[in-house]
Structure 1
């Protein structure tokens, strides 16, 4: 069930670190005029390469992309990355691979991209990043849509990666999102935190959310799933036990947001989300980052490495500036829940 939403841009006051978290489906078309990558039943993808205009030096770069799963936020990061390459005018071929949320498939695709001897690999979401980082210590690997690369053992530190991995973090403004929940639902007493226990990035956000919820004088209760098949059952189990639901930038939950919103909205449970795509899929509201811009920032890093010879081991993990954070409200969902969101405009 997909809801239409009205996006309201809001500049964040002050600087803050931003925040979201494998072969069975077709990857999104992320290069202008390029064919999409197709995959086989054996979950190994044939390379479908697309070529950008040639640069003055005539050098052509091979770029591999491993995206964990297809959903709005990760798709946007992918598109932003490719656009940055195109805007830089470099000559490249890109092999788009999507692991369809299957972590073992991430390993298979990661090995393929390394064996193809790509010049650079982009890994989108934490499980994809961990698979690629574990498959090579030589090829430059950029990650995006990863909450905390250091805590996920991808780099020595976010300030000084020290190896062949760097990229961008999607650390979401969890505290501000919980403040938004309290503003919309001032009488809320108990908040359920829904996330996938298999995603390390989600565990980090869940801990941050619990602290923020308790700081607002509410009680936090964890509700976890191990895979998408458990979402409906777990959300249904919250009925009558929570006043609201918080879902961080969790890939499993984001991909299954239609199910989350269906059950939650039917039972009068408002859902505050980690990112815009989840709101568009039926959540109530979020205060989060622009994933297209995050991908674009990662693409600019790739240009520095490929074109300018930048040393990835000395390239810090980057974060979007505060003005890329925006408020998104699904007014249709608000009507279903009987919640007045006019004061948020």
Structure 2
């Protein structure tokens, strides 16, 4: 009888443990995150997503399975990661930057997809409009008002007539920016001079091709350019060409100024959408979002190296002055 009683107690304890564990297992969620490349802006988006999930009570190792993979700038790798993640069937896939988002959206019509740091999700064919898509896709755009970017260029280089831009012609968001700049720069008495950099290793040579042809170089959030920004800075310093960016982290790396989005905040905004999906909302019922919160970063030291002096008014209006 004693052995039987012990056996009964053991079975009972196991059943109780399973009963307690069952609700925890039911609460387990899975989020897979992919980015086209690793650089400060996209890394900040990833970290911001994780911050938002933690704030909502979703923590890796407790009630959240978290996966992250970078495509290291390779579109073929981005497609492989997309197929792998879709096969894993997570509760949501977060795709950071246009090429990764396009790869994931092409790979699934039912797994929830939340894009982030995509300049024009409609042109990239991720969603039909910024309204609720009715599909498995929603997300957050980092689209900037380019008229404000042109105003910043005029403030820092008042006599600029020719604006150079290094970009990847294979990246949809960069092509959109080029087309818009071609439209609005002439209205400000300036013209655009383009230099193609299909790969990160092409950024330096593309920048050198602009020497003698431009008065200033503007960079958007093109992933090839941002990932190789130091090579652009070397050309700017050597040739005394001012560098103005839309990615604020680029200012810390040697750009003169940037009026841009805080990408950590953009990641948090993205993560809040992911939380809504984890709690049962359909991505197709959630409109795409943008961020209207812009911050000005300036780097007086970089300005001196590139042959210009930042106006006091610009420095005083900056959220961050890089020393």
Question: Structure 1 CA distance, aligned partners of 2:309 and 2:69?
Answer: 42
Query: Match for 1:71 among 25, 29, 39?
Result: 39
| Shift in Å, 1:337 | 2.4
SS of the residue aligned with 2:46?
helix
Q: How big is each residue's C-alpha offset from its partner over 1:134-153, in whole Å with a ceiling of 9 and x where there is no partner? A: 11111100000001111111
Q: What is the aligned partner in structure 2 of residue 98 from structure 1?
A: 70
Question: Structure 2 CA distance, aligned partners of 1:100 and 1:115?
Answer: 21
Query: Match for 2:223 among 227, 251, 262?
Result: 251
Question: Structure 2 CA distance, aligned partners of 1:189 and 1:148?
Answer: 27
Task: Please tell me whether residue 86 in structure 1 is matched to residue 54 in structure 2.
Answer: yes
Query: Match for 2:131 among 155, 159, 176?
Result: 159
Q: What is the aligned partner in structure 1 of residue 288 from structure 2?
A: 317
SS of the residue aligned with 2:290?
coil
Q: Is the 8 A contact 1:155 1:162 kept in 2?
A: no
Question: Structure 2 CA distance, aligned partners of 1:273 and 1:83?
Answer: 26
SS of the residue aligned with 1:327?
strand
Work out the number of aligned pairs and report it: 289
Question: Structure 2 CA distance, aligned partners of 1:209 and 1:275?
Answer: 17
User: Which residues of structure 1 form unaligned runs of 5+?
Assistant: 1-54
Q: CA RMSD in A?
A: 1.6
Q: How big is each residue's C-alpha offset from its partner over 1:163-185, in whole Å with a ceiling of 9 and x where there is no partner? A: 10100000023211111011111
Q: Is the 8 A contact 2:32 2:68 kept in 1?
A: yes
TM-score (norm 2): 0.86
Q: What is the aligned partner in structure 1 of residue 93 from structure 2?
A: 121
Q: How big is each residue's C-alpha offset from its partner over 1:264-287, in whole Å with a ceiling of 9 and x where there is no partner? A: 121010011111112221111111
SS of the residue aligned with 2:109?
coil
Q: Is the 8 A contact 2:236 2:306 kept in 1?
A: no
Q: What is the aligned partner in structure 1 of residue 170 from structure 2?
A: 198
Q: Which has the higher contact order (CA 8 A, sep 6+)?
A: 1
Query: Match for 1:340 among 309, 314, 320?
Result: 309
Task: Please tell me whether residue 328 in structure 1 is matched to residue 277 in structure 2.
Answer: no
SS of the residue aligned with 2:185?
helix
Q: What is the aligned partner in structure 1 of residue 269 from structure 2?
A: 297
**Whose helix proportion is higher, 1 or 2?**
2
Q: Is the 8 A contact 1:103 1:127 kept in 2?
A: yes
Question: Structure 1 CA distance, aligned partners of 2:101 and 2:46?
Answer: 14
Task: Please tell me whether residue 107 in structure 1 is matched to residue 75 in structure 2.
Answer: no
Stretches of 4+ moved more than 6 A in 1? Answer: none
Q: Is the 8 A contact 1:64 1:113 kept in 2?
A: yes
| Shift in Å, 1:229 | 1.9
Question: Structure 1 CA distance, aligned partners of 2:29 and 2:163?
Answer: 48
Counterpart mapping for 1:21-40 below 5 A: none
Question: Structure 2 CA distance, aligned partners of 1:273 and 1:220?
Answer: 15
SS of the residue aligned with 1:168?
strand
| Shift in Å, 1:211 | 2.4
Q: How big is each residue's C-alpha offset from its partner over 1:204-248, in whole Å with a ceiling of 9 and x where there is no partner? A: 111222223211101211111111122111111111111111111
